[in-house]
Structure 1
Amino acid sequence: MINVAVIGVGSIGKHHARIFSDLAGVRLAAIVDADFPRAEEFAHKYHTTALKDYRDVISSVDAVSIAVPTTFHFSVAMDFLEQNKHILVEKPITSTIEEAEALINEAEKRDLVLQVGHLERFNAGVSLISSLVEKPQFIESQRLSPFLGRGIDVDVTLDLMIHDIDIILSLVNSEIADIRATGARVLTENIDVAHAWIEFENGCIAEAVTSRIANEKVRQLKVFQHNSYLNLDYQKQELTSFIKSDGAVRKEIKKPEEKEPLKEQLISFINCIQDKTRPLVSGHEGREALKVALKISGLVNHGLS
């Protein structure tokens, strides 16, 4: 039995608590939130202990799920790593590359699991399209959302685009040669819309468009490669492919098996702890996605200055 605590039960953390409370081989030892009445609400719901200070739970757990604001990721995660606890930290891994590298080094020194919550890697549609990608030539991603007022403490590149950056990096086995980007601050003091153009050394090009002020929600990933075009619609959970074979183009529509990505992510985290294996999205992948997201933010902000 692995004892787990959830640190932060906001819009994402509350679902971590829900899933851990019903996961085989796991005991939800505590729910921690600086808003203690909120911690109590979910602790009562899932029959566990409510705490206000995460330091009070360190000695009682084997692992934690950290879903606090990004600026606190490093300090909270490091406190647990230094006490030999396994970590699942929501994306982005940290606010800076230096912080990310410090967490990676600490986890590796202690042989601990450090997993980053890039949820879309556990999306069944992403798994399906990844299995069909061989040598992509052009990738186009769209992640548009109406304004919800959440995640606005950071640029949209770190809140939303970083999902697509991580997926693109996982599909293209090459170093980045160049990045260009533009965007705007519209409804917040941070970047609300961003458009990035990423060129890889192997010739592949990726275009990522992200907005949190769109009229409607759009989630699409398109991959173009020799003799095939793949189009994943996240919302419909539908993959449309056009494949050229023997001089003819064949269209196929596939619907992957329905699974809850967050549940799959948390199961994977527990399996990594039990089997002593590396996560699908370790600290290293989290750091690389953060590096690109920060570069894009820097380019956009430079253009706006």
Structure 2
Amino acid sequence: MTAVAVVGAGLMGANHARVLRRLPEAELTLVVDPDGPRGRALAESVGARYCAEPAAVAGLAEAAVLAVPSERHAEIGVPLLEAGVDLLVEKPIATTVEDADALIEAAREHHRVLMTGHVERFNPAVLQLDGLVHDPLHVELTRMGPFSPRVTADVVLDLMIHDLELALALAGSDVERVEGMGRRERTDSLDLATALLRFRNGVTASVTASRIGQTKIRRIELTQRTNFVVLDLVRQDLTIHRVDHNEFLAEGGVRYRQSGLVEIPFLEHRGEPLALELEHFLDCVMHRRSPRVTGLQGRRALEVALAVRRSAGSPYR
């Protein structure tokens, strides 16, 4: 059993605490938050101690989940890594590449596990892709939902970065070209953005994120040479489409027939993505393994997200 602290008692911190409390491989020992009433309330609800200062983590936990505002990830995370604490950092890993590098270097120097919390990598439908991605050509990722006033980051760092990291993983290559467009509708930052990506290996991607929609959509469409794969991340299902071409002789000469084949694989992994993510993190801590989404992979996703922002320029209304 691993002693774990949750740093940050906001919405995501509360979700992590809820899940950690019921994982048999975790002992939730501490909740940290500068807001006393909020932090104490969460700590009491999960049977953990409360402290206002992150420095207390090193004495009470072997690992920690960092769920504070992204701009504070390096400020709080680097000292924890230096103190010997393994770290799961909520996405994005940071808001600047320099901060991401500071976290990565601290983890390397002190031999700590540093995992970036891109939870969609643990969606059961996405996990199923591990054995299905062969010779991809193009990927289209769509993420839409209604506006939430609690979110302060723009739509690129709040929503699109999930799919930028997925696109990097599916393409298996670095990005060589980024083009972005965006709109402001509900806030002074990007509320809707579209990015076109070209990877060094020739794979292309189209990524759209919006927080001004009227329904929740989380969809991936993967075009490969031999099939077309569709994932619905909300319903957690996956469908593979194949086409079979046939020519045959009839009285009028050669005829052509096309038939479609649809496969719906059984999903081996089931469960809440956040629980699967935390189980994986704890396994990496216990067995000193490299996580599915490393700090370096989180940095790559951040770099692409910042490039989309720059390309989008001044968003219009």
Greater CA deviation, 233-242 or 192-201?
Answer: 233-242
**2:125 corresponding residue in structure 1:** 125
**2:53 corresponding residue in structure 1:** 53
Cα distance in 1 for residues equivalent to 2:56 and 2:132 = 47
Using the TM superposition, give the Cα deviation of residue 245 of structure 1 relative to its aligned residue in structure 2, in angstroms: 4.9
Q: Which residue identity lines up with residue 239 of structure 1 in the other structure?
A: L
Alignment of 1:287-298 (within 5 A): 287-298=299-310
TM-score by length of 1: 0.95
**1:180 corresponding residue in structure 2:** 179
**1:137 corresponding residue in structure 2:** 137
Alignment of 1:254-293 (within 5 A): 254=265, 256=267, 257-293=269-305
Cα distance in 2 for residues equivalent to 1:283 and 1:129 = 22
In the alignment, is residue 3 of structure 1 matched against residue 3 of structure 2? yes
Q: Which residue identity lines up with residue 269 of structure 1 in the other structure?
A: F
**1:165 corresponding residue in structure 2:** 164
Aligned CA distance change for structure 1 residues 48 and 158 (closer, same or farther; 3 Å): same
Determine if contact 1:237/1:255 at 8 Å carries over to the other structure.
Answer: no
Determine if contact 2:58/2:84 at 8 Å carries over to the other structure.
Answer: no
Partner of 1:191: helix, strand, or coil? coil
Cα distance in 2 for residues equivalent to 1:173 and 1:59 = 39
Using the TM superposition, give the Cα deviation of residue 269 of structure 1 relative to its aligned residue in structure 2, in angstroms: 0.8
Determine if contact 1:157/1:297 at 8 Å carries over to the other structure.
Answer: yes
**1:13 corresponding residue in structure 2:** 13
Q: Which residue identity lines up with residue 295 of structure 2 in the other structure?
A: G
Using the TM superposition, give the Cα deviation of residue 146 of structure 1 relative to its aligned residue in structure 2, in angstroms: 0.3
Partner of 1:285: helix, strand, or coil? helix
Cα distance in 2 for residues equivalent to 1:254 and 1:76 = 42
Determine if contact 2:175/2:304 at 8 Å carries over to the other structure.
Answer: no
Cα distance in 2 for residues equivalent to 1:301 and 1:40 = 42
Computing the radius of gyration from Cα coordinates, the structure with the larger value is 2
Cα distance in 2 for residues equivalent to 1:107 and 1:235 = 33
Determine if contact 1:130/1:171 at 8 Å carries over to the other structure.
Answer: no
Q: Which residue identity lines up with residue 237 of structure 2 in the other structure?
A: E
Partner of 1:21: helix, strand, or coil? helix
Using the TM superposition, give the Cα deviation of residue 230 of structure 1 relative to its aligned residue in structure 2, in angstroms: 0.7
Structure 1 ranges of 4+ moved more than 4 A? 245-248
Partner of 1:219: helix, strand, or coil? strand
Partner of 1:84: helix, strand, or coil? coil
What is the number of residues matched between the two proteins?
A: 304
**1:146 corresponding residue in structure 2:** 146
Determine if contact 2:57/2:80 at 8 Å carries over to the other structure.
Answer: no
Q: Identity, % of aligned pairs?
A: 35
Aligned CA distance change for structure 1 residues 2 and 178 (closer, same or farther; 3 Å): same
Greater CA deviation, 135-144 or 168-177?
Answer: 168-177
**2:155 corresponding residue in structure 1:** 156
Using the TM superposition, give the Cα deviation of residue 174 of structure 1 relative to its aligned residue in structure 2, in angstroms: 2.2
Greater CA deviation, 274-283 or 45-54?
Answer: 45-54
Alignment of 1:62-73 (within 5 A): 62-73=62-73
Using the TM superposition, give the Cα deviation of residue 254 of structure 1 relative to its aligned residue in structure 2, in angstroms: 3.8
Partner of 1:143: helix, strand, or coil? strand
Cα distance in 1 for residues equivalent to 2:212 and 2:266 = 29
Partner of 2:264: helix, strand, or coil? strand
**1:250 corresponding residue in structure 2:** 261
Cα distance in 2 for residues equivalent to 1:33 and 1:241 = 45
Cα distance in 2 for residues equivalent to 1:49 and 1:131 = 42
CA deviation string 1:200-256 (max 9, x = no partner):
122211000000111211110000011211110112222121123575431123452
**2:253 corresponding residue in structure 1:** none
CA RMSD of aligned residues (A): 1.7
Partner of 1:150: helix, strand, or coil? coil
Q: Which runs of 5+ in 2 are unaligned?
A: 247-258
Q: Which residue identity lines up with residue 251 of structure 1 in the other structure?
A: V
Partner of 2:137: helix, strand, or coil? strand
**1:97 corresponding residue in structure 2:** 97
Greater CA deviation, 13-22 or 252-261?
Answer: 252-261
Using the TM superposition, give the Cα deviation of residue 106 of structure 1 relative to its aligned residue in structure 2, in angstroms: 1.1
Alignment of 1:226-241 (within 5 A): 226-241=225-240
Cα distance in 2 for residues equivalent to 1:249 and 1:277 = 42
TM-score by length of 2: 0.92
Cα distance in 1 for residues equivalent to 2:202 and 2:208 = 20
Q: Which runs of 5+ in 1 are unaligned?
A: none
Using the TM superposition, give the Cα deviation of residue 26 of structure 1 relative to its aligned residue in structure 2, in angstroms: 2.1
**1:195 corresponding residue in structure 2:** 194
